[in-house]
Amino acid sequence: MFANDIWLMLILFIFGGLMLVLELVMPGFGIPGIAGIISLIAGLVVGSTLLTASQLAIVFLLVFVYIAVMVVLLYRSATKNGRISKLFLRAKAVKEEGYSSSENFEDMVGKEGVAITPLRPSGMGEFEDTRLDVVTEGQFIPKGVKIKIVKVEGFRIVVEQVYDDDNRD
């Protein structure tokens, strides 16, 4: 019976260590982490009935070293050329390589159009048969007034009212 209990203790420690290492790979605190902690505690309880304090300390130290080695191996595998590192996305979608999260309207700066809704300060403008969401820098512009794109900041297209000689306010 004594030999079976020692094997049970070792199995609990090894299983607990493996579950904690698995928890390091998986995000969050889930079933492997809880199972690992319970298994390690159960291994200590079984070991405390079988071993002396010094023997139990040695077993605990061995389990700790085992877990530390597994963590180091996991870390090496997760960095640059390891197997686990292939699971992580390393590519970046940067503008210099042609990626964009929105349509680029930089070439529209200076174009004139018409406010098709009142701009207070945001609304819609039409430029060369294209409707765009636009914004002013705070001023109110009524519907039907000529507007001009003065700058583009990402999704934000800034316009101002165009004053002709005959409609100068």
pLDDT above 90 (res 142): yes
Does residue 49 or residue 166 have the better pLDDT?
Answer: 49
In a domain, 101, yes or no: no
Same domain, 16 and 57: yes
- The pLDDT score that the predictor gives to residue 27 is 61
Which residue range is the domain that position 145 belongs to?
Answer: 106-164
Q: Which DSSP state fits 156?
A: E
Of 53, 87, 121, the last residue of a domain is 87
In a domain, 92, yes or no: no
Same domain, 144 and 116: yes
Q: Mean of the pLDDT values across residues 113-117? A: 95
Q: Which amino acid belongs to residue 151?
A: K
- The pLDDT score that the predictor gives to residue 101 is 63
Q: Give the pLDDT band of residue 117 (cuts 50, 70, 90).
A: very high
In a domain, 133, yes or no: yes
Same domain, 38 and 79: yes
The pLDDT mean for the chain works out to 80
Q: Does this model's pTM top 0.75?
A: no
- The pLDDT score that the predictor gives to residue 63 is 72
In a domain, 115, yes or no: yes
Same domain, 79 and 124: no
Rounded distance between C-alpha atoms, residue 15 and residue 158, angstroms? 62
Same domain, 53 and 20: yes
How many domains, in total, are found in the chain?
2
Q: Give the pLDDT band of residue 113 (cuts 50, 70, 90).
A: very high
Same domain, 134 and 80: no
pLDDT above 80 (res 165): no
In a domain, 31, yes or no: yes
The CATH number for 150's domain is 2.40.50.140
- The pLDDT score that the predictor gives to residue 115 is 95
DSSP string, 18-60: HHHHHHHHSSSS-HHHHHHHHHHHHHHHHHHHHS-HHHHHHHH
Same domain, 74 and 115: no
Does residue 164 or residue 122 have the better pLDDT?
Answer: 122
In a domain, 94, yes or no: no
